[in-house]
Amino acid sequence: MTTTIDRSAAPQPSAPRPYHFPHITRATLPNGLRVLVTENRNAPLVSLRALIRSGADHDTAQSAGLASLVADLLDEGAGSRDAIRIAEDVGLLGGALGTGADWDATYISFDVLSRNSEPAMSIFGDVTARATLPEDGLERVRAERLNDILQQRNDPGAIAGKRFASLLYGNGAYGNSVGGNAESVARITADDVRTFYRQHYIPNHSSVVVSGDIDAAAAVELVTRALADWQTGPEPPRPTVAPRPIDASRIYVVDRPQAVQSEIRVGHLGVPRSCEDYFPLAVMNAVFGGVFNSRINLNLRERHGYTYGARSQFAFRRQAGPFVIAAPVRNEVTRESVNEMLSELRRIRTGDIEDRELDDVKSYLMGVFPATVQTAADLAGRLVDMELYGLPEDYFDRYRENIAAVSKDEITRVAEKYLDPDRVLVVIVGNASQIREPLGSLGFPVHELDIDGNMLAVS
């Protein structure tokens, strides 16, 4: 077909419209609770968030799963309401309540029709500071968790993630699962739960964020009414993660005889969120594997058709999280896929980066920001991050210039400094009889583990 207009080149953009992160109103209650509010009138909705600065990093090998179990118990009873009454009242307000923990923190979220902000805040305050932690609730939540853990034994992605974390961090923080294991979850007592709640759910260790269709001063007033009575306590010390050094690359295979794909994880220790090289690392990872058009995905998916999607990630946590490349690939190309990942790791350390490649990811990271904060819930999430990682008050205002400042030399410098292709953990959950032999030819020791991590064989 011929065209009557000039389609030969992409049209030029018009003048950009400025974007400004919304104003943040801050307050600190006398009990030390920090409150952050942003107004956003795009929808008749309000998002409430509580951040408790303790998560599964406080679990020990013995108590793995405790922090997340406490989080699950918060809406089993709070204030004068039992679990069913909480759910009924949340439903009557047109709300959705959620609770959970990750490695760094515990989160409570309540999204609600804005006309009901006031009664919603009252329930939110109860769930956060006046949870009753009933014993029958604990037994119910525990049984649910044990069944979850059981189900994960057939989930290749979950198995790969668990084995990788455990090989990298051992039994301590970041090495178990946030949800714990069958033995530890069975062991947790009502006393453990109450002690954790008393020690960690304290206002001087927490923040509350309100975002959406609500007046900022009114929001602060509502938070004050709901949480001014919350009792302070001593700041809990943060445990230190103890990663195991990797002396040489090794491959670990977990056999899943029925598998038609290999779940691959390749990586090593990363850096904490507070790393001074955060911005160059974020840009480097976007070039390498952080977005659709990154090298890893273009290579494994678009050039070779090995996978539906390949990604890499630095898990930026309070302490050094892992750096991981992840992809599910069909059995026949498992060895080739690992090989391509390792050669991409080597290549990005050589300074072989095109200007266009770098410009593309930088303008992506800078330009995409407004699209990621369209909703009240999105904005609330950004403020929670800001509080959790102690980001400066002008962080989102200066985000673009920080990305823009990253140079090609810095990409190479951080790739050399933080990526080590010669010392990686390779974890593969797949059909061992089909992949064992080809993997052996990569030249690294191949260990076989059962799904609980027990060593079966070395070749």
Distance of alpha carbon 451 from alpha carbon 177, whole angstroms = 13
Answer whether 171's CB lies under 8 Å from 59's CB: no
Instruction: Please enumerate in sequence order all residues whose Cβ is within 8 A of that of 1, keeping only pairs 6 or more positions apart, or say none.
Output: none
158 or 271, CB closer to other proteins?
158
Q: How far is the CB of 129 from other proteins (least distance, A)?
A: 21
Q: How far is the CB of 399 from other proteins (least distance, A)?
A: 12
154 or 171, CB closer to other proteins?
154
Q: How far is the CB of 266 from other proteins (least distance, A)?
A: 18
Q: How far is the CB of 436 from other proteins (least distance, A)?
A: 18
Q: How far is the CB of 253 from other proteins (least distance, A)?
A: 16
275 exposure class (CB count in 10 Å sphere: 0-12, 13-18, 19+): middle
Q: How far is the CB of 80 from other proteins (least distance, A)?
A: 16
Q: How far is the CB of 303 from other proteins (least distance, A)?
A: 8
81 or 317, CB closer to other proteins?
81
Q: How far is the CB of 432 from other proteins (least distance, A)?
A: 15
41 or 423, CB closer to other proteins?
41
What's the Cα-to-Cα distance from 213 to each of 114, 192, 305, rounded to whole Å? 6, 39, 46
Answer whether 83's CB lies under 8 Å from 159's CB: no
Q: What is the DSSP letter of 199?
A: H
Task: State the Cα torsion 60-62-65-66 to the nearest 10°.
Answer: -80
Q: Give the per-residue SS3 of 293-316.
A: CCHHHHHHHHHCCCECCCEEEEEE
Distance of alpha carbon 429 from alpha carbon 425, whole angstroms = 13
142 or 349, CB closer to other proteins?
142
By C-alpha distance, which of 240, 180, 244 is closest to 425? 244
Distance of alpha carbon 230 from alpha carbon 402, whole angstroms = 38
84 or 457, CB closer to other proteins?
84
Neighbours of 150 (CB within 10 A): 10
Angle subtended at Cα 402 by Cα 398 and Cα 408, rounded to the nearest 5 degrees: 165
Q: How far is the CB of 420 from other proteins (least distance, A)?
A: 28
305 or 390, CB closer to other proteins?
305
17 or 23, CB closer to other proteins?
17
Block residue for tokens 């009138």 = 41
84 or 456, CB closer to other proteins?
84
Task: State the Cα torsion 302-303-308-309 to the nearest 10°.
Answer: -80
Cα dihedral across residues 143, 149, 154, 156: positive or negative? positive
